[in-house]
């Protein structure tokens, strides 16, 4: 199981800015180890975010996304106290879900 | 007659083949658009996602630094003010596979996403908006990289 994500959701007016920092290697599959063997690709493929349980945004990522990915987006109509849930699935089938409260 | 060892070797080969073909359940996850992520040009990626020919547009914006010191972490953002946008794409022209990320936009979120990508070398970065009516609009920005983020 991967390390927890760090999620910060801050309401400003009628929208909420959500910033997520995930903990993941994001190995591209292009690099080689010291023995010259390619390191297999290992990256987050699918990100899903929900506001109070309703999916608001999904994303598909490729191996070009940086290590320990950062994601920022704005949710319309979310206010303080609402729940923001972020989950990801990587190409090995590993997954993680974390939740934050809008402040 | 097959020995147990041969059997195991065979099943390992088959499993490997299945994995590369993307047929194993965990690799055939949901709707990850494999063809789009293997595309070598923006037009191919747009086509793989069901769009038409890309056209430049002033209503799509890409944000990012002019010079990135470290290609392993380049902050970029894609945004558009146009209504009816279905997906926002981020592409790096000179990466081994150009498509970096696809964001599916719904009514509940603004079409404005920021993330960080890896860049192998200085190149153009594109923000592409896939519209609901099939139009593909893009904005581009050149980002110079002092230290590459892929390989080595």
A16 to chain B: closest CA residue: B109
| Nearest by CB: A62 against B97, B108, B114 | B97
Instruction: Please report residues of B whose CB lies closer than 8 A to that of A75.
Output: 108-109
pLDDT of residue B1: 58
String of DSSP letters for chain B: ---HHHHHHHHHHHHHHHHHTT-STTTT-TT--HHHHH-SSHHHHHHHTT---EEE-TTEEEE--SEEEETT-EEEEEEE--SSEEEEEEEETTSSSSEEEEEE--TTEEEEEEEEE--SSSEEEEEEEEETTS-EEEEEEEEEEEE--S--
Question: Does B108 sit within 8 Å of A56, measured CB to CB?
Answer: yes
pLDDT for the residue numbered B26: 39
Distance between A48 CA and the closest CA of chain B, angstroms? 10
B26, B74, B150: residue with CB nearest A28 = B150
Q: Give pLDDT, residue A34.
A: 81
A6 touches chain B (CB under 8 A): no
Question: Where do the structural domains in chain B lie, given as residue ranges?
Answer: 1-30, 40-147
Mean pLDDT by 10 residues, chain A (103 residues): 80 86 82 80 86 87 86 86 88 86 86
pLDDT > 70? residue B27: no
CATH number of this structure's domain A6-101: 2.60.40.10
Q: With an 8 Å Cβ cutoff, is A53 touching chain B?
A: no
Residues on chain B touching A72 (C-beta within 8 angstroms):
77, 113-115
Q: What was the pLDDT predicted at B5?
A: 67
pLDDT above 60 (res B73): yes
- pTM as predicted: 0.76
pLDDT digits (tens, 9 = 90+) for A23-39: 888 888 778 778 878 88
User: Under CATH, domain B40-147 is a member of which superfamily?
Assistant: SoxY domain (2.60.40.2470)
Of B77, B109, B118, the CB nearest to A66: B118
User: What's the whole-number average pLDDT of chain A?
Assistant: 85
pLDDT of residue B2: 61
């Amino acid at each position: 199981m991967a390390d927890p994500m760090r999620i910060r959701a801050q309401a400003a007016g009628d929208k909420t800015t959500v910033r997520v920092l995930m903990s993941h290697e994001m190995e591209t599959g292009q690099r080689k180890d010291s023995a010259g063997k390619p390191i297999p690709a290992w990256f987050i493929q699918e990100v899903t975010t929900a506001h109070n349980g309703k999916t608001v945004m999904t994303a598909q990522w490729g191996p070009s996304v940086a290590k320990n990915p950062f994601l920022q987006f704005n949710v319309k109509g979310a206010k303080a106290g609402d729940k923001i849930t972020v989950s990801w699935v990587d190409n090995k089938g590993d997954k993680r879900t974390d939740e934050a409260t809008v402040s | 007659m097959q020995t147990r060892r041969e059997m195991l070797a065979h099943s390992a080969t088959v499993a490997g083949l299945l994995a590369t073909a993307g047929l194993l359940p965990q690799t055939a996850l949901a709707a990850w658009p494999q063809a789009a992520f293997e595309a070598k040009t923006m037009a191919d990626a747009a086509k793989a996602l069901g769009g038409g020919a890309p056209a430049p547009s002033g209503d799509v914006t890409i944000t990012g630094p002019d010079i990135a010191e470290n290609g392993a972490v380049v902050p970029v953002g894609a945004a558009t003010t146009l209504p009816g946008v279905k997906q926002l794409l981020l592409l790096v022209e000179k990466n081994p596979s150009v498509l970096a990320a696809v964001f599916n936009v719904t009514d509940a979120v603004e079409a404005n996403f920021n993330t960080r990508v890896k860049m192998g070398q200085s190149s153009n970065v594109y923000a592409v908006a896939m519209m609901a009516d099939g139009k593909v609009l893009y904005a581009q920005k050149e980002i110079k990289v002092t230290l590459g983020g892929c390989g080595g």
